[in-house]
Amino acid sequence: YVGSQVVARLLSEGITVHAPVRHPESRESLKHLNDMAGRTPGKIRFFKADLLAPGTYDEAMAGCERVIHTASPFILKVKEPQKDLVDPALKGTRNVLGSVNRTSSVKRVVLTSSVAAIIGDARECLDYPEGMATEEHWNTTSSLHHQPYSYSKTVAEREAWSICRAQDRWDLVVINPSLVIGPGLTPNATSESFNLVRQFGNGRMKQGAPDFAIGVVDVREVAEAHFRAAFTPETSGRHIISAENTDFVTLAGYLRKEFGNAYPFPKKTLPKWLVWLAAPAAGFTRRMVRLNVGYPWKVDHAKSVHSLGIRYRPAEESIVALFRQMIGSGTL
């Protein structure tokens, strides 16, 4: 989802992209990338690699100056958090950066992290100046058993900074997006974002939506942030990439405004006690509900505007475009 948009942005500039994939022989799954390359001045080459197999990125990385590491699972409901989330995020980061350390041509690494590495639970925003998190904050509350996805992003990013500090040849720039929405370059792209937006229209929330405050950002701005992070020499550090601080009911309202009553969009906010009661059946812990539902969630994206020059499109435009694509592809 994000990676394809990043590749498209690179190809549009005439850049040669070395793309590590699990199955380079799979023509169908790579068709949209090859089609993009055919329409742009850039070139793309595919290399076989496995996120958890040490050394398999060496061949793809040879001769490259920039490495953009986007690969990490975005899954909220898992049976084995260590295996399904933490290992791919942490070991994958070690694997990719191990290849970076062995590749003398690499000058900069751009890592896709998340605002989940900044905020663990919305309740924490109450303790920040003006109730808003910045790049200076770190998630210190998530664990393998509480918010394991957020924990996986946190430990992976911390490991990346640790590996970077141990050498002085390449530098690291980190992108910390909020919930990524907007149209994908292929309707078959996978992301937890799709599952959430799908629930707005498939009846799962027809009785109402939980009072979850979140940040959202268009996938096209996320790709632009990666591109600028890779090629803006003076930029450094972490970058919150988030267009708006919003919530579930507001996002559903944008969809209802565009599509009317064609879909059972939620119209009201569910009481917290009801969300707390139903949490286990919905696949969430009651601790997660207690520390997130009903609290403001806010991040400051000022650095991305000033350092990377990102201009954000409205969340309404992004979520409508994604929902319309899901209707057209039959994935709703």
- Of these residues, 77, 107, 153, 298, which one is catalytic? 153
CA dihedral sign of residues 41, 64, 177, 326: positive
Other CB atoms within 10 Å distance of the CB of residue 159: 16
Give the chain's length: 332
* Burial of 98 (C-beta count, 10 Å sphere; 0-12/13-18/19+): middle
Following CA atoms 59, 62, 65, 66 in sequence, which dihedral angle do they give, to the nearest 10 degrees? 0
Concatenate the DSSP letters of all residues of 6-21 into one string.
HHHHHHHTT-EEEEEE
Write the DSSP symbol of residue 81. H
In angstroms, the CA 207 to CA 271 distance is 11
**131 closest CA partner among 300, 250, 246, 292:** 300
> Phi and psi at residue 241, in whole multiples of 5°?
-115, 100
First-residue to last-residue Cα distance in the chain: 17
Residue 47: strand pairing partners: 20
In angstroms, the CA 231 to CA 241 distance is 17
Quick check: is 153 catalytic?
Answer: yes
Q: Which residues are catalytic?
A: 153
